[in-house]
Structure 1
Amino acid sequence: MAFFNREDIDNFDKIHRINLMNSLSGYKSANLLGSISPEGQENVAVFSSVVHLGSTPPVLGFILRPTTVPRNTYENLKETGFYTINHITQTIAEDAHHTSAKYDKGISEFEMTSLTPEYKNGFLAPFVQESPVQIGMKYLEEYYIKANDTIMVVGEIQFFYVKDEMLQEDGFLNLSKGRVATINGLDGYAIPNLFTRYEYQRPKKIENSI
């Protein structure tokens, strides 16, 4: 196996280091965050850092890169208090990835792609119509990470929509049936296939030896 120490990491050229470090942690979630400004300007952007933080209450977090440059999603959700999380699929991956382009605040990524904003259930922020998993989120709190000048944003799930065929009787959501994508590094997209599920694990009994 190839070996790299901290000195090696620091000595990589910038692009090589970014690609390798972003791939090293493994596959990441692939989501589109939908938001809207108080003036009605829509925004949708790809994020690969959405994580489950707890079920009771149901909360999710995501990492926001340094706000030294405009972050429209962050500004919108702080001003309105609401946003959406939408799973990316194989069909919309190319358009979803394009939302990472840095457009001016007055230009909606919905207008620059084939992604469709969808409003329902009286929720303020737009969902992505093409997504098989759509989650309405309420902003709760945030935590500054001093180590790399980033922010973890924490939100509470208000309600969600999922495709019927993905939901199993025990509550398990089979993402494979929705062709939900995952992100490898910064720009690699994959479609995982579920190969099995394992039962809840308990300690094995240890036989006493005489």
Structure 2
Amino acid sequence: MAYFNLKQIQELEHLYKINLINSCSGFKSANLIGTKSTKGQENVAVFSSVTHIGSNPPLLGFFCRPTTVTRHTYDNIKKTGVYTINHIDLNNFEDAHHTSAKYDQSISEFDMTGLESEYKDNCKAPFVKRAPIQLEMKFIEEYLIQANNTILVIGEIQGLYINGDLLEDDGFINLSKANIAAINGLDGYTIPKLEKRLEYQRPKK
């Protein structure tokens, strides 16, 4: 078994260290966040840090890198207060990954990929057309992570669109039915398969 202590990690070659630390936490969610600037410019970007915060109220969070350079997604959310979260699947993960390229703010990633935008129910931010799960989000608050100057952005779900065959009777969303992707590290994409749902666990007597 390979082993790295903190000193060894700190001394690793830059790209090796990034790959190592981004992979060691396990599979991560694969999402596209859609925003629009105050000037009407659409933006869509891949994120692997979307996470559940709570169900009541329905809150999700994601992490932004330090704002020492321009962050189009973060800037648009702070100025407009709205954004969308769209699941990546087997059909679009390569286009989704390309949104990580650093385009000028005047260029929409929708125009540079096969991804298409669409609008629903008066939401001012663009959804990704044909995404099997789409969420309309409202910005609630943010927290600065002082250890590395990243920002935790927290939003509240305003609307939730789910392809009908994914939703089960108890509210469980079967992601495997839509070939929804997960991310391994920075650039590894996988399509997880649901093995089995287990019952709520109580202490053994």
**Deviation of the 1:130 alpha carbon:** 2.3
Q: Helix, strand or coil: the match of 2:19?
A: helix
2:8 corresponds to which letter in structure 1?
A: D
Which 4+ residue blocks in structure 1 deviate beyond 2 angstroms? none
User: TM (normalized to structure 1)?
Assistant: 0.97
Superposed, which structure 2 residues align to 1:94-133 within 5 Å? 94-133=94-133
State how many pairs are aligned: 205
- Deviation, 1:129, is 0.4
Q: Which residue does the alignment assign to 2:154?
A: 154
* Inter-partner Cα distance in structure 2 for 1:78 and 1:2: 42
Give the alignment of 1:53-132 within 5 angstroms: 53-132=53-132
C-alpha displacement of 1:199: 0.4
Matches of 1:51 and 1:154, distance apart in 2:
9
Counterparts of 1:130 and 1:185, CA distance in 2: 25
The CA RMSD over aligned residues, in Å, is: 0.5
Equivalent position SS for 2:97: helix
Q: Distance in 2 between matches of 1:120 and 1:3?
A: 49
Inter-partner Cα distance in structure 1 for 2:6 and 2:75: 35
Structure-1 separation of matches of 2:124 and 2:37: 10
Identity among equivalent pairs (%): 61
Give the SS at the match of 1:45.
Answer: strand
1:87 is aligned with what amino acid?
H
Name the aligned partner's letter for residue 182 of structure 1.
Answer: A
Aligned residue in 2 for 1:183: 183
Q: For residue 11 of structure 1, what is the amino acid of its counterpart?
A: E
State whether residues 115 and 130 of structure 1, in contact with CA within 8 Å, keep that contact through their aligned partners in structure 2: no
Query: Which ranges in structure 1 are unaligned for 5 or more consecutive residues?
Result: 206-210
The C-alpha deviation readout for 1:137-172, integer Å capped at 9, x for no partner, is 000000000001100000000011010110000000
Cα offset, 1:39, TM superposition? 1.0
